[in-house]
């Protein structure tokens, strides 16, 4: 817990970035500018009218019936036309409600009240219902759902805030999660007593993990990707790396070095990987292999030869091989991916037996492959990989793991996070280490060089050059890297990381 929780207003306003087109947005707003999200700067708190959820549900049910009849008459109707017709019906229904409410109250509802109701009905029909305003808020990093009426937001600056419920009952919450799965294109995934676990990517790229029927309520966490489109310059602007580190990472990509990005949960590994992928040529052919799509390389408007392969859950029926029918694992995807004329392979995260196939790809295939792995410190990454080898079928040895690491891996990039929000500070995410693997060392473990590391004598926790040139420095020079950059013990940081507690070591 990050200090005393702050309780918010019952409704979070919609934020900029609503996916409606300008014309449809105007329809949702009833043809007025009242409540238009794009006129409000992000992060500004603006009181907003609260829509009556029961009224919204009634209008939604009415419009849903009209939509059903419409699609029966015209099954080929495109989604935009369908939404436009439904928005017209929503406006008509809200106008009728507004007139009835005026007669009952003796005063007409405000334009903001009408707008809030229109938005909620639209979100119930086409988006994530009462959850949608929290997904729209660009400040939100995590959404914690501890049952239908106990919902918390975790902001990027470390603040945690309780907000309004997203459902009125357990069953309504479960149906919301099922609808999110259907709407996200994961028709084979559901959540129920028979299938108590649900993991998927939402349409906006957020990652959802939910669990039910193994505790007092249904729990869900939505991890939002606040940094989706940054390149290495963008990571410099965020303070994750400095220009020297950016140049080194750029050279690693261009020199086709195999890299593992490691770090703790929420440190920013995936964001950094997305940024590094932007250094590939737009027509370079590669595959991303993930349990849920979090890299977005195939539809980011830049890569033209990115193949997105996503693991699939089974349908629950166990076959003769002991596996669920229809299941496709990361390990299943790795082997055929190697036959797709790829120049590189990118695994979103290795956390199981697929690490063996990934390490084989590093040793056998072309260079320039990337993956991420969870590890608390850079010095335990090798042991973490060896642990996953031991879990693989055949109980592979740590000696094999170490040998394949030494033969196939070039660099470990470690992303750290220092969280000082409990003492009035902020979260700092940054690359703290870049470790080169140079072959097999003593006791069979991989030998290493620290190329970037904290300079704690200068009060710097972020990764700065150690003065050691990597053994592959000539490969980096051949793609344009200036090795003189590695001689600055302070990197390009203007001053040390501003921490409240500075390391004494």
Domain map of the chain by residue range? 8-126, 131-226, 232-315+326-487
Partner residues linked to 290 by β-bridges: 310
Residues of the chain with pLDDT under 50: 1-25, 28-47
Looking at residue 318, its pLDDT comes to: 67
3-class DSSP assignment, residue 265:
coil
Q: Choose the CATH number for 232-315+326-487 among 3.10.180.10, 3.40.720.10, 3.40.50.300, 3.40.630.30.
A: 3.40.50.300
- Rounded to whole angstroms, how far apart are CA atoms 202 and 293? 9
131-226 is a CATH 3.30.450.370 domain: yes
Task: Give the angle 387-392-393 at the CA atoms, nearest 5°.
Answer: 150
Neighbouring residues of 79: CB distance < 8 A, sequence distance ≥ 6: none
C-alpha torsion sign, points 258, 264, 270, 273: negative
Q: With helix as H, strand as E and coil as C, how does 347-364 read?
A: ECCCCCCHHHHHHHHHHH
3-class DSSP assignment, residue 183:
helix
Looking at residue 16, its pLDDT comes to: 38
pTM: 0.75
Looking at residue 10, its pLDDT comes to: 35
Looking at residue 231, its pLDDT comes to: 92
Looking at residue 365, its pLDDT comes to: 63
Q: With helix as H, strand as E and coil as C, how does 400-447 read?
A: HHHHHHHHHCCEEEEEEEEECHHHCCCEEEEEEEEEEEEEECHHHCEE
- Rounded to whole angstroms, how far apart are CA atoms 190 and 192? 7
Number of C-beta neighbours around residue 187 at 10 A? 9
Looking at residue 183, its pLDDT comes to: 82
- Rounded to whole angstroms, how far apart are CA atoms 500 and 320? 58
Looking at residue 48, its pLDDT comes to: 57
């Amino acid at each position: 817990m990050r200090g005393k929780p702050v309780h918010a207003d019952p409704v979070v306003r919609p934020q900029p970035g609503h996916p409606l087109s300008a014309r449809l947005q105007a329809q949702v707003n009833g043809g007025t500018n009242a409540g238009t999200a794009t006129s409000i700067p992000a992060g500004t708190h603006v009181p907003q009218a609260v829509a009556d959820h029961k009224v919204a549900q009634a209008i939604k049910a009415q419009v849903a019936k009209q939509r059903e009849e419409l699609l029966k008459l015209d099954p080929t109707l495109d989604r935009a036309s369908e939404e436009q017709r439904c928005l017209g019906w929503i406006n008509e229904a809200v106008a009728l409600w507004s007139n009835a409410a005026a007669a009952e109250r003796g005063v007409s509802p405000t334009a903001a009240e009408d707008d809030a109701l229109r938005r909620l009905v639209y979100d119930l029909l086409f988006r994530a219902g009462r959850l949608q305003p929290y997904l729209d808020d660009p400040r939100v990093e995590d959404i914690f759902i501890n049952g239908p009426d106990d919902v918390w937001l975790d902001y990027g600056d470390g603040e945690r805030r309780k907000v309004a419920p997203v459902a009125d009952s357990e069953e309504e919450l479960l149906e919301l999660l099922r609808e999110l799965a259907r709407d996200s294109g994961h028709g084979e995934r559901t959540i129920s007593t028979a299938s108590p676990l649900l993991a998927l990517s939402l349409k906006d790229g957020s990652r959802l993990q939910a669990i039910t029927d193994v505790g007092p309520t249904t729990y869900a966490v939505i991890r939002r990707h606040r940094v989706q489109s940054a390149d290495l310059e963008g990571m410099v602007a965020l303070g994750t790396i400095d220009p020297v580190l950016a140049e080194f990472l750029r050279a690693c990509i261009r020199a086709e070095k195999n890299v593992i990005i490691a770090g703790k949960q929420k440190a920013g590994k995936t964001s950094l990987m997305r940024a590094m992928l932007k250094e590939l040529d737009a027509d370079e052919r590669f595959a991303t292999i993930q349990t849920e799509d979090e890299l977005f390389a195939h539809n980011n408007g830049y890569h033209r030869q990115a193949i997105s392969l996503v693991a699939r859950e089974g349908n629950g029926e166990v076959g003769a091989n002991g596996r669920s029918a229809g299941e496709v694992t990361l390990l299943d995807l790795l082997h055929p991916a190697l036959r797709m004329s790829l120049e590189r392979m990118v695994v979103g995260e290795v956390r199981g037996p697929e690490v063996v196939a990934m390490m084989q790809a590093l040793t056998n295939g072309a260079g320039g492959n990337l993956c991420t792995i969870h590890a608390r410190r850079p010095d335990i990454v090798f042991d973490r990989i060896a642990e996953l080898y031991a879990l693989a079928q055949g109980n592979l040895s740590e000696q094999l793991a170490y040998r394949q690491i030494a033969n196939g891996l070039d660099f470990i990039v470690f992303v750290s996070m220092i969280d000082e929000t409990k003492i009035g500070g902020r979260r700092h995410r940054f690359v703290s280490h870049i470790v080169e693997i140079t072959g097999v060392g003593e006791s069979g473990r991989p030998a290493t060089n620290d190329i970037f590391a904290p300079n704690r004598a200068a009060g710097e926790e972020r990764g700065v050059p150690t003065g050691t040139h990597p053994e592959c420095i000539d490969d980096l020079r051949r793609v344009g890297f200036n090795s003189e950059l590695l001689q600055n013990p302070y990197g390009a940081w203007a001053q040390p990381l501003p921490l409240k507690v500075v390391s004494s070591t």
